[in-house]
Structure 1
Amino acid sequence: MAYKSELLVISTGRLASTVIALISIKAVTSYLSPEQYGELAILITIQMLCGLFLINPVGQHINLHTHKWWDDNTLIPRLKSFRTFVTLSSCIGSIVSLEAFNAGTPYIALLTMLAVFTMVLAATWNATLIPMLNMLGFRNQSVSWSIVSSTTSLIASVLLVKIWPSAISWFTGQAIGLLLGAMGARYELLRKTPKDEYEKNTAVFLLTKHEILKYCIPLSLAAGLMWIQLSGYRFAIEYYWGLKKLGYFAIGLQLAGQIWALAESLAIQFLYPFFYRRVSENSNSTEIELAVSDLLNTLTPLYLLLAGLTIAISPFLLKLLVAAEYADAWIFVAVGSIVELCRALGNVLGNAAHVRRKTIHLAAPYAVGAAIILGGIINAGDRQLDISWAGAALILGAIMMLITMTVTMYNQVKFKLDKPRILISFLIMMSLVCLVNYAPVASSWVTALGYSIGISFIVATILFMMLWNNPATLRLLSVQLRKF
């Protein structure tokens, strides 16, 4: 079947990109000290502020309408209206970096501003155009330019950090790779677009006043609160525990995040185009409820099993993938796994608000999570407790966000959960969490690799059984992505 070949293409591409990303973690921890990695974490936090608070609301609006605009030949003219907004957001990011990043000298401050401006610009277009190719069914082109992005980012970062070992060098190299990938994706999109469409000189409005007020501004509020929960807390970590501890903390969560990026990007690249096409063609409440339920019942078992796997092999991942200087950060990989699980499930549930165009309802769950995380970190910092208490605050905040999100989104879309599959997956996840206490010591590279492969194979087999003939998954895959 066609979707099987598409899944193979996407899986191969994501696996390649993830391998490159994991090599990047090994490289960055080899070239940068924990203090320098802490600085890199601050730069990434600034980029994420612009991406989530400013750009994400418009990006989600584009995702929801991509198929409709492609069908009526207005996609490219509408993207022309997006350029000014992206450039303005990049300028705001560079200005924020002046206050948020301790540059030291005017020269370093100027380089930091330029790096942040380039990164926000490059990351936005990369995250817009490459997924857009995939959304429209141009799988091969999307995968190819995704691999080009990650490969070039790694090469450029290593070359720059060899010249000047610093967080700014690594960050700039990443921006260069993302920019190249975005340019390639733009070329492919224009090549697939009817000539008379992209030669139009007039831009079409991307957003109406109603859409800005009712969809984008509420979503921006929710995304800003999400930013606090996902990365904004790093400023508090730096304040109370310093850049070195922030470096250890961030590398553990980053490693977990890269593993989750593989699974979540597979879901987004492969399943979400079917989901968005399905909801864009139906205004019927019953069909929307079924579509959201199918997405949840496909991804929830996968995410639960992945969380258990990541925690079970977390000490071995550090042995394999980071420099020895960061070896004690495995507990933060486990923390990151739980946080990523809650974040990913929250994102899936949040689709209910997107399809109803009532994104204001996303604010409350992220407000709950952000308040608990900041309150916990500030309390632990004031009392001079160990940084592990900051990790506990992250876990508690993520869980409370997910609980609140579940209740809130159910009020928007009456989704139905496949309780047997989800319960079995949860029990397996808890078994894997307990397994970490009985695992052998990660004394060598061979032990770490062998144990990780063995546990991963078992979990992959269980996952295959969970998804095999899953009616929810089969319904999602029955949708035609484009009409021409």
Structure 2
Amino acid sequence: MNWSRIFRLAREMGWLVFGQLAAVTGTLVLVRVLTEHLAPETYGELALGLTLIGLINQVVLGGVVTSIGRYYSIAFEKQELGVYLKASKRILWISTVIILTFGGLCFGGLQFFGYDPQIDFVGPLVLFSLLGGYGAAYSGILNAARLRSLVALHGGVEAWLKILLVLGAVSCLGASVPAVIAAYVGASMLVVGSLYFFLQSCLHLEKKSTENSGEWIKHIWKYSLPFSYWGVFVWAQQSSDRWALDLFGSREDVGLYAVLFQLGYTPIVMTVGTVVSFLGPIFYQRAGDATDERRRGSVRALTWRITLACLGLTGVGFALACLMHEWIFAWLVSPQYRSVSYLMPWMVLAGGLFAAGQMLALKLISDMQASIMTSAKIWTGVLGVSANFYAGSILGVPGVVGALVIVSGVYVIWMLLLARKNFSMKSL
């Protein structure tokens, strides 16, 4: 038995658990802070504004960040880290230009249609999304390099920095959406700056390379394209719940739903995200460039076991939420948000099903088979938008929650079928 490897893996997992506990705890405390200072209508306005960040992340940054993280192990194995890092930096700059152009178009569109109050939000939201993308890319590289402690510490620190800066911003600027966004931007700037410092120190990001990075840019960009293709549909599904409630209900409904989402859906997704962050670099290293069947096969059984564990965790979370939702809302949100606590178990169920689907997606990504998920991502996105607007128009918040459970269930079943087909084909 290789005890040194076991201890190393245990240490890495320990750092990830520590960081995730700090992040989840910070997120829950942040919900308490925000609900104490923001009325449900204002919270709903914040939730709608943050959908712009979701669009940028899904269409531009999401695929780039995933692709950069996936190609680290390939570059390391080929001893081409220098040119890989150079290519990654250039891709991030290209993404920045695209995002700034998009932000300018949003600004012009809002001005043209007379949405003057919303214009002030565009700049900070675009900056926040850019910082988040850079932070995710830097964290992805450090995580792929197995520098887990740095990733964990920065993740935990950012969650608590937001709390401190939100309290300061609300005290100085008043309880408003611009004040909260300013606090978010401040926290991200500090964390991204620190991540960049450690990335330079540990991996020599600025190191000059005499090799041409064009081939690496082409490979990384090409691999990220499917994520952008389906990103529009994924964003539409993930944002349409809030916009449906705003259209057919009220801004207060959006705020209540946003709190419900953060307390029920987000924690279990973040918990499973810890496992994905831990296993991702291991899967990538074992699979290499995904041309060796024996290397791919070494992680298949582990994928199924972890997916089943995710589903088991979802069942436990659902049961606990049924028993404790009133107590949880009594501790974590102000009284004006507690009327929707009975829906929390269903949010936990939706989050767990989605997280199990993401676990299966990790295996497909490690096999360099991300493109085969395109149909699943697009059509579940279309289903999600349709279900959100239909159910939201009839039942309001309970309808949108039910739609999320259905779409998450369809997603995990579809990913299960893709994974089984992919495993079967690779076994021939």
State the partner residue of 2:3: none
Contact map agreement 1:103 1:109 (CA 8 A) in 2:
no
Q: Distance in 1 between matches of 2:327 and 2:40?
A: 20
Which whole-Å deviations, capped at 9, do the CAs of 1:381-408 have from their partners, x for residues lacking one? 55x4343122222211221122222212
Contact map agreement 1:20 1:154 (CA 8 A) in 2:
yes
Of residues 387-396 and 41-50 in structure 1, the stretch that sits farther from structure 2 once superposed is 387-396
1:178 has 2:188 as partner = yes
Cα 1:202/1:19, change in 2 over 3 Å? same
Q: Which of 9, 15, 18 is residue 12 of structure 1 equivalent to? A: 18
Cα 1:346/1:101, change in 2 over 3 Å? farther
Query: Counterparts of 1:82-481 in structure 2 under 5 Å?
Result: 82-92=91-101, 94-95=103-104, 98=107, 106=116, 108-162=117-171, 163-194=173-204, 198-200=207-209, 204-205=213-214, 209=218, 212=221, 215-280=223-288, 283-310=291-318, 311-312=321-322, 313-382=324-393, 384-414=394-424
Amino acid at match of 1:145: H
Greater relative contact order (Cα 8 A, min sep 6): structure 1 or 2?
2
Q: Distance in 1 between matches of 2:160 and 2:131?
A: 15
State the partner residue of 1:2: 8
1:27 has 2:28 as partner = no
Amino acid at match of 1:397: V
Q: Distance in 1 between matches of 2:209 and 2:120?
A: 37
State the 1:302 CA deviation.
3.6
Contact map agreement 1:335 1:391 (CA 8 A) in 2:
yes
Structure with greater proportional helix content: 2
TM-score by length of 1: 0.77
Of residues 133-142 and 295-304 in structure 1, the stretch that sits farther from structure 2 once superposed is 295-304
Cα 1:296/1:101, change in 2 over 3 Å? farther
State the 1:208 CA deviation.
5.1
Amino acid at match of 2:312: L
Q: Distance in 2 between matches of 1:166 and 1:119?
A: 17
State the 1:136 CA deviation.
0.7
Cα 1:42/1:203, change in 2 over 3 Å? farther
State the 1:240 CA deviation.
1.1
State the partner residue of 2:80: 72
Which whole-Å deviations, capped at 9, do the CAs of 1:151-179 have from their partners, x for residues lacking one? 22221222112323112321221122122
Q: Distance in 1 between matches of 2:170 and 2:214?
A: 42
Which whole-Å deviations, capped at 9, do the CAs of 1:347-397 have from their partners, x for residues lacking one? 121234323434332122233322333223333355x43431222222112
State the partner residue of 1:62: 68
State how many pairs are aligned. Answer: 412
Amino acid at match of 1:139: R
Contact map agreement 2:58 2:228 (CA 8 A) in 1:
yes
Amino acid at match of 2:376: P
Q: Distance in 1 between matches of 2:210 and 2:186?
A: 29
Q: Distance in 1 between matches of 2:235 and 2:110?
A: 15
Contact map agreement 1:87 1:121 (CA 8 A) in 2:
yes
SS at structure 2 position matched to 1:132? helix
Contact map agreement 1:222 1:360 (CA 8 A) in 2:
no
Amino acid at match of 2:345: A
Q: Distance in 2 between matches of 1:181 and 1:126?
A: 7
| Alignment gaps of 5+ in structure 2 | 1-6
Q: Distance in 1 between matches of 2:81 and 2:40?
A: 50
Q: Distance in 1 between matches of 2:280 and 2:414?
A: 23
Q: Distance in 2 between matches of 1:100 and 1:369?
A: 29
Q: CA RMSD in A?
A: 2.9
State the 1:111 CA deviation.
2.7
Q: State, as a whole percentage, how many aligned pairs show the same letter.
A: 16
Q: Distance in 2 between matches of 1:398 and 1:351?
A: 16
Contact map agreement 1:257 1:337 (CA 8 A) in 2:
yes
| Alignment gaps of 5+ in structure 1 | 417-484
Of residues 97-106 and 329-338 in structure 1, the stretch that sits farther from structure 2 once superposed is 97-106
Cα 1:265/1:392, change in 2 over 3 Å? closer
State the 1:93 CA deviation.
5.2
Q: Distance in 2 between matches of 1:305 and 1:400?
A: 19
Contact map agreement 1:45 1:231 (CA 8 A) in 2:
yes
TM-score by length of 2: 0.86
Contact map agreement 2:17 2:274 (CA 8 A) in 1:
yes
1:37 has 2:37 as partner = no
State the partner residue of 1:462: none
Cα 1:284/1:365, change in 2 over 3 Å? same
State the 1:267 CA deviation.
0.9
